[in-house]
Chain A
Amino acid sequence: MTQLALVIDLNVCVGCHACVTSCKQWNTSGPAGGLTDFNPYNADPNGTFFNRVQTFEVGTYPNTETVHFPKSCLHCEDPPCVPVCPTGASYKRKEDGIVLVDYDKCIGCKYCSWACPYGVREFDEQRKVMTKCTLCVDRIYDQKLPEKERKPSCVIHCPAGARLFGDVHDPESEVSVAIRERAGYGLMPEHSTKPSNHYLPRRKTRITIHEDDLYREDNPLKIDQAAMGDYPPSDEYAT
């Protein structure tokens, strides 16, 4: 069975918010109605977003790392938001595993958002219904779009290529390979929600360079001297 999901590489994300703005642009322009903004240019701005990028600092200065952390609905395989919905407005599609809200059935009781540990559902104060990431369901199946554009807006617009999209149940898909080979993980495993979206951890990129690699005789560019001025002088390099 198909389970569409995002895989977000925290080692690549630069925190530019392009996924946030492109998500807002696509989803506020659709037939389901706008994602409301209140006071966007005044004090106390507020609004509905399906996707937000947060930033965390890990470690103690000077040994710190900045982690940019995009957060949207994780399309859990066992979504706690679905069974609690009294109207059936909140549902998980059998055919592709996307968790959606039927805006025409939602009564706006907010109970689903209480049940979700991730805080990824946002109540739209103008439409008075619960809203959330749809994985751009109105885009990924659109036959009128060129095939390479049939992806969630955030994935297409990420300039760093930090976001992958695909079927996490297909072991050979790009996302499954990324999860398997780059230690992809789900958020808050303690709640047993089995999130479909996965995150790829930050990695240290290190290479080991021995001194004789730099000063070897056949170093074609002979840049060693300039770079390492205090290296003991050697006749070999006097040209």
Chain B
Amino acid sequence: MRPAFSVVFLTTLIGAGQGLFIVLFLCELLSQPSSAFLIGGSLIVLVLCGLGLLASFFHLGHPERAWRAASMWRTSWLSREVIALPAFMGAVFLYGVAHWQHLGYTVALGLLGVVTSMTLFICTGMIYAAVKVLKEWAHPLTLVNFVLLGCASGTTLAAAFATFTAPELVPVLAQAALVLTALALSTRSASLLRNARLSPFSTLQSAIGVRHPRIVQKTQGAMGGSYNTHEYFHGKSAAFIKTIVPVFMVLVFFVPLALVLYLPVLAFLLQYAGLLAERWYFFAEAQHPQNLYYQTVS
């Protein structure tokens, strides 16, 4: 697949925001953090989700019709995400306002935020895990990775933000980020290993229905490109693909593991940069069966 930067930004930004909000709420339950940490944190969550939402509009051919996307929630995970994201943002907004104006009900609103955050994680993950034709995605690990990577980056961000607003929480948040990053490392590695061993579901034989071991494409019906050649091929060299995996593994996992206890701000910035590469690769790695029909121009 050709990675769409709109979706790369959307999923990484809201993932970090969702993770951060869960941490904010747990901090409120377990300790007495400064209201600057809770209110400022909620604001960061809203900014991240707002930027993600903005990025997602660039993915659409007709952004002015985006409201229609809420209609098919019975069948479409994408539609469910379109509902869950504003619901989460609304809950976070109310939670932040409740703290700011001392309105009370913060636990109830926080719980609502956590529930919508988890719902949004499930919707985002299932958008990809539910595409059965893409074997690389159609696996529970996809969902697990979206949750853990979001929570890990969100917790790293919480530790980074706490250095300014709640320094007493930094050690415990950094340790939590360490654990979550290590967990995400194990599940993301598992999906990388799984995907490296996948054998394609479809073959050229099943694609055109000719049972012969040797079939070679001679033309694809157009001398130039088509939507099919643009959307489903990332167009990068094999060397680039080989490089990006160690790059994001180092940035998303090993650098934050080493840095988060000492320099949480830098750890978050590098981890987020790494997540952009990780998400890019997530898309590029998926081999669409339609590519079987587009092997040779002429």
Contacts and interface: CB of A to CB of B under 8 A. Distances in A.
Interface size class of B (residues with CB under 8 A): 35 or more
A160 interface: no
B272 interface: no
A115 interface: yes
A89 to B, nearest CB: 8
Interface string A108-132: 1111011111110111010111000
Contact of A88 (B71, B202, B204, B231): B71
Interface stretch (B24-32, B206-214, B260-268): B206-214
Given A60-B214, A107-B63, A191 B201 contact: yes
Interface stretch (B94-102, B103-111, B288-296): B288-296
Contacts, number: 181
A71 interface: yes
B222 to A, nearest CB: 7
B186 interface: no
Contacts of A47: 222, 224, 226
Which among B62, B131, B206, B215 has the greatest number of chain A C-beta atoms within 10 A? B62
Nearest to B220: A54
Interface string B232-274: 1000000000000000000000000000000000000000000
A215 interface: no
B59 A109 contact: yes
A189 interface: yes
Contacts of B66: 107
Nearest to B291: A119
Interface size class of A (residues with CB under 8 A): 35 or more
Nearest to A68: B219
Contacts of B62: 106-108, 128-129
A86 B123 CA distance: 12
A188 B69 contact: no
B78 A199 contact: no
A88 B72 CA distance: 6
Contacts of A187: 206-209
Given A85-B72, A188-B289, A44 B134 contact: no
B133 A191 contact: yes
A178 to B, nearest CB: 15
B127 to A, nearest CB: 8
Which 6 A-B pairs have CB atoms at the shortest separation, nearest pair first? A108-B61, A119-B290, A128-B61, A52-B221, A45-B224, A86-B79
7 contacts: A53-B221, A56-B208, A110-B59, A114-B1, A119-B291, A187-B207, A188-B207
Interface of A: 17, 20, 39, 44-49, 52-60, 66-67, 69, 71, 80, 82-89, 105-111, 113-119, 121-123, 125, 127-129, 185-191, 199, 201-202
